[in-house]
Amino acid sequence: MNVSRDNRSISHFVIKRLPRYYRYLGNLLDKEQRRVSSQELSELMNVTASQIRQDFNQFGSFGQQGYGYNIPFLYNEIKNLLGLSQSYHMILIGGGNLGQALAKHEHFVKRGFVVDAVFDSDESKTGMFTGNAPILHSLSLPEYLSGNKTDIAVLTLPESEAQAVTDVLCANGINAIWNFTNCEITVPPGVYVENVHLMDSLMTLAFNLAEINKNVCKK
């Protein structure tokens, strides 16, 4: 399946690699580097140089022999493709430890993801602040959404409440959910869910550690 933007068609496999390219090119720009060869980027990113050339060709950025790629141009192209030339209004549902950590995460604001409010069902937190975001009571969520443009809702609440809150969000026009709960949520068509299942990630790590230890014992 291909995605087209500005009349260009880019494969989903390339799309999946874009955030990583964007991150590395951003780091080079921070160091005031203006050009990079596919070979140099290949060594930094641990991707083959020919893969990089193929990917970049897809969105019309052709490196020049002996010069390499123009970093500011590439960076802006990827920024546009990722939809990062605008800023995003986010809300967090669940003001526990993880919610607070995400609300204060400095990288998000830098890239245009602004946390406008945090919702929590604990009344004693209402009126307090997490970073720059006020903590509002969960019951006020529908009212808030009817009056405030919101692009992304982040779920950092207990699993048991995840689906009910998701239903409220979707009924009130949210179509992008970043889900940190340990469960899958069901959404209507046209709503995108990006899952961060920390427990799955940790179990994958444990599995691979067990494999490593097994190999060490064999030696």
Minimum distance of a copy of itself from residue 189's CB (angstroms): 10
- Least distance CB 216 / a copy of itself (angstroms): 8
How far apart CA 162 and CA 160 sit, in angstroms, is: 6
Shortest Å distance, C-beta 80 to a copy of itself: 9
Show contacts with a copy of itself in window 73-102 (CB under 8 A): 81-84, 88, 96-98, 100-102
Q: Is residue 22 a contact residue for a copy of itself (CB under 8 A)? A: yes
Q: List, in order, residues 6 or more apart from 139 with CB less than 8 Å away.
A: 121
Which position among 124, 216, 217, 218 is part of the footprint of a copy of itself (CB under 8 A)? 216
Rounded distance between C-alpha atoms, residue 187 and residue 204, angstroms: 26
Nearer to a copy of itself, 69 or 88 (CB): 88
Work out how close the CB of 156 gets to a copy of itself at its nearest, in angstroms, rounded to a whole number. 9
Binds a copy of itself (CB under 8 A): choice among 2, 8, 13, 27: 27
Q: Does 171 sit near a copy of itself (CB under 8 A)?
A: no
Of 35 and 197, CB closest to a copy of itself: 197
| Candidate list 35, 51, 61, 104; residue touching a copy of itself; CB under 8 A | 104
Chain contacts with a copy of itself (rule: CB under 8 A): 3, 5, 15-16, 18-20, 22-23, 27, 45-46, 81-84, 88, 96-98, 100-102, 104-105, 107-108, 111, 113, 151-152, 175-176, 178, 182-184, 190-192, 194, 196-212, 214-216
